Chains A and B, each alone.
Chain A
Amino acid sequence: MIPAHALAAANGSGPSIPAPHIEYGQLSPMLVVFGAALLGVLVEAFLPRRARASAQLGVSLLGLGGAFAAVVVLAAQGHGTTKAGLLAMGAVAIDGPALFLQGVILLTAVLAVLTYAEGRLEPRINGHRVDAFAAQAAAVPGGEQERDATREGLRTTEIYPLTLFAVGGMLLFPAANDLLTMFVALEVLSLPLYLMSALARRRRLISQEAAVKYFLLGAFASAFFLFGTALVYGYAGSLQLGEIADVVSGVSQVTPALAVTTQNDALLLIGLAMLAVGLLFKVGAVPFHSWTPDVYQGAPTPVTGFMAAATKTAAFGALLRLFYVAFPGLRWDWRPVMWGVAILTMAVGAVLAITQQDVKRLLAYSSVAHAGFILTGLIATDRRGVAAVLFYLLAYSFVTLGAFAVVTLVRDSKGEATHLSNWAGLGRRSPLLAAVFALFLLAFAGIPLTSGFTGKFAVFQAAAEGGATPLVIVGVLSSAVAAFFYIRVIVLMFFSDPQPSGPAVAVPSPLTATAIGVGVLVTLGLGLLPQYFLDLASKAALFTR
């Protein structure tokens, strides 16, 4: 006996839901990473404790490496240029910016995972190497359980699958082509990050406080994003970025429903502003930056490095897509507002960094200032601006990751010695490390022959040609202010006398050394011979709809 409804479907007479068409091949970078993350969960569940760390490292590196290979193959097949298009019924876009940023995120994640696995910095416990993450995340700080877990030399290897989930979200974020997918990506990348921020082995209370702050404020920002999504949907009757753009510019067919809603521009404008708030929070733009210093300081330093580099890349990708694909027709509305945000971000970031006494907070404010510099490229609203932002994100990611990796190495008996006074005279004790950090600082400051200069030059040039000369002037002035505190650290390291009881520089394993070394190479490479990557970025700088 055949059920009735099956018969009806077979006859084609009843209502039917079409099976969605999914391009698995072109989505493979994300699928590989999510698959690796699930595998990581299984590793946690089934492997014995001692074998987990190395197994997790292997799974993560394979997953990230495989995904990167997939990105390269897709790009080589022309999916970034000629074969760019929409996937999964228009929910995801595959185009130049998406593939470029996915590549950057994956490479940064590989280096970040290498710094996670560093086991030589903390003293051994009972002969076991431990890393920068809490022995047992669920244990109450200072409690009995924590002491036991620490004594046993436990490690929170869940950090690896969490990172992979976050990376998966980050890959989707700049590729998301409708507002709901973008929101899902935002949450997928954010939730693991909240947890990861809480996992520091030392100073656990600050770490947990940072995580809670990040979570609360992140949820707040997500709510704005969701609200904005609702308002824009109310206006345009669609969630897809391309269709929204059509409605905004009036090329789509006017249905009776649209005729009513499109009369009310306030829906659209408020929606746009709220979507922007959600994304500006993630990039750390002023006035939505206040979480940055606290979270950067509290989170375990390897996580901070990963977060600072990869989250910013992903969030700028989403911001670019939102403004360039969905709202190019509204640029006369959002450009002036973004001008203000960019100016505030650059100025506040640079000025506040001056008085910081902690390296991680200093780098946090510096990342705020850099968000402002990148925004100037966004405001250029042309292809050159997109290319400049893409290049800047590539350059900035590696410098940031390298800089935070260096921070993990300067230690005293209480763990990382992040107070700046401890860094005095570091250049005399350990000239190589100080020189490497000085290189990263010079790159942050945008001194020629480093990647930072090329990147900054690119965004400022794009902004100036896009008619935003006053913005460039503010940018250059902020750079001058920013140069002060970067160079102050260099002066401190090389021209001050070391403290007698100052920190020691730990000798890292090849893992961290590789991460820092790659950071140095990329920083110098993009500074000395940037042409290939500039060309690549400008080839990749076209969004599909």
Chain B
Amino acid sequence: MEAISHAGTVMGVLAKDGVVLAAEKKVTGKLLDLSIAKEGGYGGSGEKIFLLNNNVVAGVAGLTADANSLINYARQAAQRHLFSFNEDIPVEQLAQRLCDLKQGYTQYGGLRPFGVSLLYAGYDPHYQFQLYHSDPSGNYSGWKATCIGANNGTAQSLLKQEYKDGLSTEEAIALTIKIMSKTMDSTTLSSEKLEFSTLTLDPTTKQPLAKIYKPAEIDALLAKHGIEKKEDDVAMAS
């Protein structure tokens, strides 16, 4: 729990036609070699936001090593479901799977629990777009917009003020960037500090389409929404 409150912020916002997930990266440095991550098949640097299945992306906050193990478990669980039922795993069921595992470690002695909170952004035909949060104890809950990690209190109160029902994905992206820029420790928002993803429906096939933004795409997105250092300062001054 302690680790989670220091971890990079992860924020999720549910829209009527999609879900948005953004995460703040903590570990950066000039010497960190990201050359492989930049070419990665799914984009992103693979530090905070992961693709769990065709229809679910997750953002993690907490101990990275624990998170990697949980991500791997989730991916296998999703594929096992696809294998047995020939359908993408419903989002809630995937969250449940992970929570069953996490709860197990709170019950049996000798082992420590997973120090990880997750946000799940997903789609299934039963309940359309969904956003779930799970904590290390194995509790999970559904949200319209929520936040985990450092400064989650500030972000949540901002979300509470600014969230409106029936947002479009575009509006949700704008809202996410706006609040992330206010709550993140650093003053500059850039692809070095941010991971970003959306989950929408492919307009032609109507199948879920997960997009984890590549660094260049994040910078382009930030520029589009006018979040640059100078403007931020102006906003604060006014």
Q: Do A and B come from one complex?
A: no
